[in-house]
Structure 1
């Protein structure tokens, strides 16, 4: 990795940490320069606008989800073990990895009614995430672990719903039982899909 790539990586890591706390709207080149202890002009060379910075953060966050959540799940057996690993990885991503939790959850609320390139990219990230989950359900069907008539998109929707409920319960409501409740919901979802 070149010096420029190392700097960009470090800046995007700081930007993602900041965005998890202040949201994508709160992320500016000026605030990031201060946080990363870099000059505004130096950052401007990497990101020509606030929108370009926001898009870069979404791309970086997507790559981090793949590295920290999806790839570890894909290393486990297909079907139920893979879905459980994905869920565990996402819990860690939301609970422990970022100071303000999952940037995608925060950005979805922040940008849901705001048209533009950043919202469009965020929506595509979410579609990709749901498709990754649906593909894992499909593999369980193909392996005979789950009912043949299971609707993978519906089950992806429901698993994602559990993740969103955990985020709100854990972060906003500070519910000490949030994780236990989320795990119980996933157990029920998997039990309803399981053959036999």
Structure 2
């Protein structure tokens, strides 16, 4: 990386948790300048405006989340274990894997009516997450781990929605009690479809 690319990446890494915690609208360039200790001029050399930086921060947060999740899943030996790992990865919303909470939930809620670019980024990430779940179950069916009649496309939607809903409830209540109920329910459905 060139010096300019390093500085740009440094700004993104410092800005990403701020945007994910405060939101795009509530984050100011002053917040980013304070975190990076860079001048306004330096900031605008690398990002023409806050929106461009916010989009880069959204991408960065979602990449961190995806990379961490896929790394954990890769350690599993069976499809069932992969599904359980996926669920367990998100089991503690009060102490989430990404600073500020789930970027899909945070940015999706904020951008649904206000920012079509970020909305599409979040929508793509949702589709990707559901596809990961579908691929795991499809592999499990091929390996004769799961019931071939299991409608895994529907289950991927239900699982994703329950996990995101559990994340929201847990973050609002400040505890993971409801997420534990959701995890128990999802694991029961998986067990019921395991051969």
The 3 A distance-change label for structure 1 pair 48 and 102 is same
Displacement of 1:13: 2.4
- Structure 2 equivalent of residue 12 of structure 1: 12
| Matches of 2:3 and 2:90, distance apart in 1 | 31
In the superposition, the TM-score normalised over structure 1's length comes to 0.86
Farther off after superposition, 89-98 or 125-134 = 89-98
The 3 A distance-change label for structure 1 pair 72 and 182 is same
Q: Deviations over 1:49-85 (max 9, x none)?
A: 2221122112212321232111220231241101111
The 3 A distance-change label for structure 1 pair 35 and 115 is closer
For structure 1, which runs of at least 5 residues remain unmatched after alignment?
Answer: none
The 3 A distance-change label for structure 1 pair 44 and 92 is farther
Displacement of 1:153: 1.9
For structure 2, which runs of at least 5 residues remain unmatched after alignment?
Answer: none
- Structure 1 equivalent of residue 73 of structure 2: 73
| Matches of 2:91 and 2:127, distance apart in 1 | 19
| Pairwise CA RMSD | 2.3
The 3 A distance-change label for structure 1 pair 5 and 84 is farther
| Matches of 2:181 and 2:124, distance apart in 1 | 29
- Structure 1 equivalent of residue 64 of structure 2: 64
Displacement of 1:139: 1.3
Q: Deviations over 1:132-173 (max 9, x none)?
A: 222112111221111112222211112112211221221102
Report 1:157-172 matches (<5 A). Answer: 157-172=157-172
Q: Is the 8 A contact 1:134 1:156 kept in 2?
A: yes
Farther off after superposition, 8-17 or 129-138 = 8-17
Displacement of 1:91: 3.4
Aligned residues: 195
- Structure 2 equivalent of residue 31 of structure 1: 31
1:181 aligned onto 2:181: yes
- Structure 2 equivalent of residue 127 of structure 1: 127
| Matches of 1:146 and 1:32, distance apart in 2 | 48
